[in-house]
Amino acid sequence: MYGRVLGVTVMGVVGHVLTVEAHIGRGLPSLTMTGLPGASVQDARDRIRPAVESSGLEWPLRRVVVNLSPGNLRKEGPGFDLPIAMGVLAASKQVPAGNLGRYAFVGELTLDGSLTATPGILSMAIAASRRGLAGVVVPAANASEARLVDDLDVVATSSLREVVAFLRSGNRPVGPTPPVTTHGGDDGRSIDLREVRGQARARRALEVAAAGGHNLLLMGSPGAGKTMLARRLATILPDLTRAEALEVTQLHSIAGVLSSPGLVGERPFRSPHQSVSLAGLVGGGSSLLRPGEVSLAHHGVLFLDEVTEFRRDAVEGLRQALEDGRVVVTRAVGSVEYPARFTLVAAANPCPCGYAGDARRHCPCPPNRKQLYRQKLSGPLLDRIDLRLDVPRLSKGELLGESPGESSPAVRERVQIARERQRARYASIGVSCNGQLPGPLARRQARLSASAEALLAKAVESLALTGRGFDRALKVARTIADLAGAEQTGADHVAEALSYRSAFDAGDLARAG
Amino acid sequence: MRADTARAADGTDDAKQAIPENYPDGFAATAADRRALLVLSSLRGLTARRLLALSVSGPTASACLATIRRGAAGSESDRAFARRLDPDDVSSALEACGARSIAFDEPEYPRRLDGLKDPPAMLFVRGVDLREVDPVVAMVGARNCSPTGAEIARDIASGLAREGWWVVSGAARGIDAASHEGALEHERTVAVLGCGIDVTHRVAKRTLLGRIDRTGALVSEYPPGVPAEPFRFPARNRIVAGMAEALVVVEGAAGSGSLISADHAIDLGRHVFAVPGPVTSPLTHAPHELIREGAGLIRGPDDLLKDLGVSASGASRAALRSTRGLTPEEVRALDVLVTSMLPEVVAGKMGLTLPEAIALLTTLEIKGLVRNVGGRVEPVHVRAQA
């Protein structure tokens, strides 16, 4: 007796539709699985029989062999419970074969036969749709995720019994069908740039960073407000497009961190702790591969607070993501790729005690310790941070005297327009914003006015600008010009761009010299 | 109270003995005595104060050395070292680094040091004859100074040196280094070391010390080979204060060594001057404390020269700030920027947008007229034009 159903596995962010075959033959009652099942799939073996029996169905007391094909892909995840159970039920003729070939089955079973939420449903639904299947049978908890895929029949079920009923009679389980929701969204935004008191220069830097997709280093004493500022960068980035939102939702679904069902509408803000491992930051794991923080921050903001305290290997691991907008994780179980295009915001104290350059507190750190501290921030990472900013600790008077600034939506509007300009200009060279321009291209695309060039030449001398510092200033100046709607990059734009340097640049000089 | 703590370091046993004001006549009269002093100066535990106490019982340096070698004075390790050390080795090491020794009764020995409670019995010197080093002002201050503090120190030192004054300081980083730098412009500076005369204890200082060595003088009470150790720095401070007829404190945090130097100067009856600053800055604690106690308040070299009885030459009164090559906007920004300010405050006062103000301030930064410290902009202290 033989049965055949379709399941889906996820490699990286891409779903693959697989065939689950079941054969019931003579022999002692047993369940054998072939076809490279991962540890989490092997785990399903003892779960499926109780689930089937609890649902009022019969488990064949014979030798059952289940094969997952193709056999060269490693299968991972608890989503195989349902297709394996269905394969066995199909082989024992307890469900009709009619619809079996047109639907993919996904879901984790409990011992009482109900279906629980399963990670990665969106990627699986996309795979099913690409394969041309009529629909997917998914746990009700994940249904709104699967419904994000157009023209796909989503059967939301809460138990194995309901799945069988659907196949036997075509009856869909009755239950509330929530509309496709976009959570987050404009009104749902809980934080706003307006809440930042004072720090006008830092707010301006956030706007420039958002407009040009530049990474940002915030340096300041404890209590200056670095974290508060970093959180608000995500609120002034342009709204997520639908394609971007789908990518973000996919990644969050796979990692199982989707906070509510439906499309993610807000740009993610991820703030991993200093103790994060390399695998935790860029993705990986030993058996079950999982996207890391860089991928969870895809299309959003990755915030590294106290960046000098992070493990060195973890910070070095960021380089590929910053360079290519993706990470490739290779392990014994295979190699997967996760998208990871994010804006990096790093925060650091200016020195070990944290008070160098502070107006009211004395910093006792000797220069050599300051130097050592600053060297902890690796050069290659620093090279990819275009904007560096000293964030001063404000006095009470400075905080209270300041009128509240603009709200996030007002700033976001300008950012959006500046981004449009860049997208139009760079359409032919495959980058979307100034922050992604490689150095030589930045020099060609800068369109400097004569006075701007004269100023830059002077700055190279008096500010001891390095080649890399020069390129960074060009890119940032171009963004400032885009924000101002200027065709040419003027001297004012260059001058402002040059102000986004910081004490960490001293390390820059040391390496150049 | 501060003076007490400064002196408490000299040990307790001395307190019981009567300590003479200075070394007895003929203490270093013979060549043998001078050779003995070379050894005595090398002993780690034998401070000038202890040597003075010892000179009561043995009226010559040779006698003091004999007492120590015999085991009747000094620490265990000093005795062992004193027995082992050959004075000829010390002299050849001195020769190797181009230094000379000056005993307290020689003509080159600065007579101002006699006023100290514990003058060094012997000094080691490289560079110009110390008799030429006159008149002298000492400058001290914080090692972790602010950029403005360094500029002011440099400015004062340069102004003094131009008028023919010598500037003596302690060769540390920060205010010390800035003072030396300023005075080096007119080649009139002396560095007092807290280590052996041959040791330049920090590599970064090598060039500064090298230049002082070539044009001025290096002074130490320690012969070659003595390493820099923290306990020697307060001892060095008394020589810095003692060599000069006036002392200037530029910046210093609470409890800083500058206050100890000032105490030495006060004890010696020297003039003390201090440069004020914002009361909110932790680095102005020492100068303000001294001003409250009666130190002269000086704002720059001209104030100091006036108080020292020398009127500044016309040159240093030249226009403080040249407005050549600046746009009217830039001049206005410099007028607004009287102290350290947030860029948005500058923008508000000038009626500019923030990006305009940032651009303007950065242009001034490129011209070297303002600087950014921790997110605030401050004017660079503009030096009196020579």
Helices in A325-449 by DSSP H: which ranges?
367-375, 379-383, 396-401, 408-426, 439-445
- Residue B200 near residue B228, CB atoms below 8 Å: no
- CATH homologous superfamily of A193-425: P-loop containing nucleotide triphosphate hydrolases (3.40.50.300)
Measured between CA atoms, the residue of chain B closest to residue A496 is B359
CB interface of B with A, residues 366-385, below 8 Å: 366-368, 372-376
pLDDT in the model for residue B204: 44
The count of residues in chain B is: 386
pLDDT in the model for residue A173: 78
E strand or H helix that includes residue A47: helix A45-54
CA A135, CA A360: separation in Å to the nearest integer? 65
Query: Measured between CB atoms, which of B144, B253, B355 is closest to A204?
Result: B355
**Cis amide leading into B135 (omega within 30):** yes
Q: For residue B16, is pLDDT > 60?
A: no
Q: Is B332 on the interface with A (CB under 8 A)?
A: no
Which sequence spans correspond to the domains of chain A?
A: 2-169, 193-425, 437-513
Which tokens in the block code for residue B245?
């007829």
Look at the block and give the residue holding tokens 């001058």: A495
pLDDT in the model for residue A165: 92
- Bridge partners, A67 (sequence order): A21, A34
- Residue A40 near residue A68, CB atoms below 8 Å: no
CA B152, CA A154: separation in Å to the nearest integer? 76
Q: Is B365 on the interface with A (CB under 8 A)?
A: yes
CA A472, CA A494: separation in Å to the nearest integer? 11
Partner-chain contact A495 B363, CB within 8 Å:
yes
Q: Which residue has the higher pLDDT, A67 or A350?
A: A67
CA B83, CA B75: separation in Å to the nearest integer? 12
Q: Is A480 on the interface with B (CB under 8 A)?
A: yes
Strand pairing report for B122-127 and B217-220:
antiparallel
Q: Is A360 on the interface with B (CB under 8 A)?
A: yes
Q: Which residue has the higher pLDDT, A509 or B244?
A: B244
The model's confidence at residue A269, banded by pLDDT at 50, 70 and 90, is: very high
Q: For residue A272, is pLDDT > 80?
A: yes
Query: What CATH topology corresponds to B133-188+231-316?
Result: Rossmann fold (3.40.50)
- Residue A300 near residue A270, CB atoms below 8 Å: yes
Q: What is the Cβ-side half-sphere exposure of residue A53, based on CA atoms within 13 angstroms?
A: 9
pLDDT in the model for residue B30: 87
Instruction: Give mean pLDDT, residues B84-103.
Output: 88
Strand pairing report for A103-105 and A135-139:
parallel
Instruction: Give mean pLDDT, residues A63-70.
Output: 93
Instruction: Give mean pLDDT, residues A185-192.
Output: 60
Q: Count Cβ atoms within 10 A of the Cβ of residue B230 and give its class: 0-12 exposed, 13-18 middle, 19 or more buried.
A: exposed
Q: Is A204 on the interface with B (CB under 8 A)?
A: yes
The model's confidence at residue B199, banded by pLDDT at 50, 70 and 90, is: low
Q: How far is CA A430 from the centre of its chain?
A: 21
Instruction: Give mean pLDDT, residues A406-431.
Output: 91
- Mean of the per-residue pLDDT values for chain A? 87
Distances (CA, A) of A473 to A414, A421, A462, A467, B91: 21, 19, 15, 10, 58
DSSP A238: P
Which CATH architecture group holds B321-379? Orthogonal Bundle (1.10)
Write out the DSSP string of A130-146.
HTT-SEEEEEGGGHHHH
Least Cα separation, residue B374 to chain A (angstroms): 5
Instruction: Give mean pLDDT, residues A101-108.
Output: 93
CA A317, CA B276: separation in Å to the nearest integer? 50
Q: Would you call B24 helix, strand, or coil by DSSP?
A: coil
pLDDT in the model for residue A313: 87
Least Cα separation, residue A127 to chain B (angstroms): 49
pLDDT in the model for residue B317: 37
Q: Is B20 on the interface with A (CB under 8 A)?
A: no
Look at the block and give the residue holding tokens 């023919």: B164
Query: Measured between CB atoms, which of A366, A390, A458 is closest to B366?
Result: A458
CA B88, CA B101: separation in Å to the nearest integer? 13
DSSP A448: B
**Residues A329-378: tens digit of each pLDDT:** 887 767 889 999 999 999 999 888 888 878 778 888 888 888 888 887 76
**Residues B256-287: tens digit of each pLDDT:** 889 999 999 998 888 999 999 989 888 999 99
**Cis amide leading into A291 (omega within 30):** no
pLDDT in the model for residue A304: 94
Q: Which residue, among A362, A390, A402, A479, would best test binding to B if mutated, counting the most B CBs under 10 Å from its CB?
A: A362
- Reference A250, options A345, A151, A129; nearest CA is A129
Counting residues of chain A whose pLDDT is more than 90, the rounded percentage is: 50
The model's confidence at residue A497, banded by pLDDT at 50, 70 and 90, is: very high
Domain with CATH 3.40.50.450 in chain B: 133-188+231-316
Tell me how many helices (H) and strands (E) chain B has.
Answer: 17, 11
Partner-chain contact A499 B361, CB within 8 Å:
yes
The model's confidence at residue B74, banded by pLDDT at 50, 70 and 90, is: confident
The model's confidence at residue B29, banded by pLDDT at 50, 70 and 90, is: confident
The model's confidence at residue A451, banded by pLDDT at 50, 70 and 90, is: very high
**Residues B328-355: tens digit of each pLDDT:** 889 899 888 878 889 999 998 999 999 9
pLDDT in the model for residue B5: 43
Residues on chain B touching A358 (C-beta within 8 angstroms): 374
Query: Measured between CB atoms, which of A200, A356, A463 is closest to B344?
Result: A200
The model's confidence at residue A178, banded by pLDDT at 50, 70 and 90, is: low
Instruction: Give mean pLDDT, residues A23-39.
Output: 91
Class of domain A2-169: alpha beta
Q: Which residue has the higher pLDDT, B309 or A21?
A: A21
The answer for residues whose C-beta is within 8 angstroms of residue B42's C-beta and 6 or more apart is B81, B85, B90, B222, B223, B225, B226
Instruction: Give mean pLDDT, residues A219-226.
Output: 88
Instruction: Give mean pLDDT, residues B224-244.
Output: 88
Q: Residue type for B75, please?
A: S
Least Cα separation, residue B143 to chain A (angstroms): 9
The beta strand positions in B117-244, using DSSP E, are: 122-127, 136-140, 166-169, 189-192, 217-220
- Bridge partners, A6 (sequence order): A19, A104
